[in-house]
Amino acid sequence: MSDHTGSDILVIGGGVIGLMTARELAATGAAVTLVEMGDTGQQASWAGGGILSPLYPWRFAGAVTALATWSQRVYPALCTELFESTGIDPEYNTSGLMILDPEEHAEARAWASAEHQSLTTLNPTQIRETEPGLQTGVRTALWLEDIGQVRNPRLTKALRVAIEPKVSIREHEEVLELRVKDGVVQGVRTRAGDIAAQRVVVCTGAWTAELLGKLGRKPDIHPVRGQMILFYAKPGQIRHLTLYRERYVIPRRDGRVLIGSTLEDAGFEKRTTAEAKEELYRIATELFPLLKRTPIEDHWAGLRPGSPSGIPYIGPYPGAEGLYVNAGHFRNGLVTGPASARLLADLLLGRDPILPASAYALDAARG
């Protein structure tokens, strides 16, 4: 990485947050390097479901809703732009979200009214018409017709290809420590040596607290394991996103159907378990009996960056000039990614921020 310019920026972490952050910063003409301990987009960004909404969105703090709402507005154009520039289709699809849990309807309607979100209530006949393959005794369902999804492995692949001409990407290079001298960031030390940088952005998801803890103050981010299974179904068998008892069903354009996701406090242990597979299979086939005749194609686990109230840390790291953080998005990294990246870039570059930044500060109170 060159040291000839005052705008050299190093982004640590090649998940969707790191890739989008690098893209935002490179768009300003800055010399940006991205360093990733493995392959880009292979951790939580790959393992997630790609629903472009917080689950049960009315349960979340306004700080999360603000990031999600801004991102939802830009996602269609972002995915079109990525497809046109890379030839990789992130498969943005407004498939709508049906929520089957009978509780909290009043809270949901109040939230939808306040946030100007489309939300209707479906009766049993409308539920059957909307999702013919669904079997449920639920008498009413909430229907959010504007909620979309992306195929997250393809989104991260497209982001990577899009930034390659503008960003120096260094994979399989783990950052061992942040180099800070006299309260000013100098760069990082990796297994391959030192990388100098005048600004460093930490986008390392579940691993963020481990890296920043060496400087004394660390954000409250910890790994939360999630497991998913994938059915090899046919296109059109399941039409919409379905959410019930914290578990979701996601139909892809090619017919594949994802079922997720567990919430497990298992540290950095990323293995799958037979118990989770059985539980997800049972839920999936109870909701959609047609899946009993459908083979399971895959089963995997990922580590989400859990944080208090799910509010990410976005902004400067106190006590280390030039060091920034964009991490801790828990289950909402994909839906909040574009806004998080833009907000971080605004703060780093001294622009007017797209959203009030105080709620995301490292020292902000979180519930």
Q: What is the pLDDT of residue 365?
A: 82
Q: What is the pLDDT of residue 300?
A: 95
> Any idea of the CA torsion for 262, 267, 272, 275, to the nearest 10 degrees?
-60
DSSP letter assigned to residue 144 = E
Radius of gyration of the chain, Cα coordinates, nearest whole angstrom: 21
Number of residues in the chain: 367
Strand partners, 313: 327
Task: Please check whether residue 179 is in contact with residue 195, taking contact to mean a CB–CB distance below 8 angstroms.
Answer: no
CATH 3.40.50.300 describes domain 94-148+222-308 = no
Both tokens of residue 194?
């030192």
Residues of the chain with CATH 3.30.9.10: 94-148+222-308
pLDDT tens digits along 186-230: 999 999 999 999 999 999 999 999 999 989 888 999 999 999 999
Q: Which of these, 19, 338, 44, lies nearest to 206 by C-alpha position? A: 44
Specify the CATH superfamily of domain 1-93+149-219+309-367. Answer: FAD/NAD(P)-binding domain (3.50.50.60)
> What is the model's pTM?
0.95
DSSP letter assigned to residue 112 = H
DSSP letter assigned to residue 22 = H
Q: What is the pLDDT of residue 3?
A: 36
Q: Which amino acid is at 100?
A: L
Q: What is the pLDDT of residue 366?
A: 80
Q: Write the DSSP assignment of 346-365 as a string of letters.
A: HHHHTPPPSS--GGGSTTS-
CA angle, residues 256, 51, 364, in degrees to nearest 5: 150
> Parallel, antiparallel, or unpaired: how do β-strands 9-12 and 199-202 relate?
parallel
Regions in the chain scoring below 70 on pLDDT: 1-7, 367
CA angle, residues 319, 194, 17, in degrees to nearest 5: 65
Q: What is the pLDDT of residue 2?
A: 34
Q: In what helix (H) or strand (E) does residue 295 lie, and over which residues does it extend? A: none
**What percent of the chain has a predicted confidence (pLDDT) above 90?**
91
Whole-angstrom distance, CA of residue 232 vs CA of residue 297: 6
Give the CB-side neighbour count of residue 102, counting CA atoms within 13 A: 7
- What average pLDDT does the chain have? 94
Q: Write the DSSP assignment of 300-350 as a string of letters.
A: EEEEEEE-GGG--EEEEPTTSBTEEEEE--TT-HHHHHHHHHHHHHHHHHT
Q: Write the DSSP assignment of 168-227 as a string of letters.
A: EEE-S--EEEEEEETTEEEEEEETTEEEE-SEEEE--GGGHHHHHGGGS---S-EEEEEE
Residues of the chain with CATH 3.50.50.60: 1-93+149-219+309-367
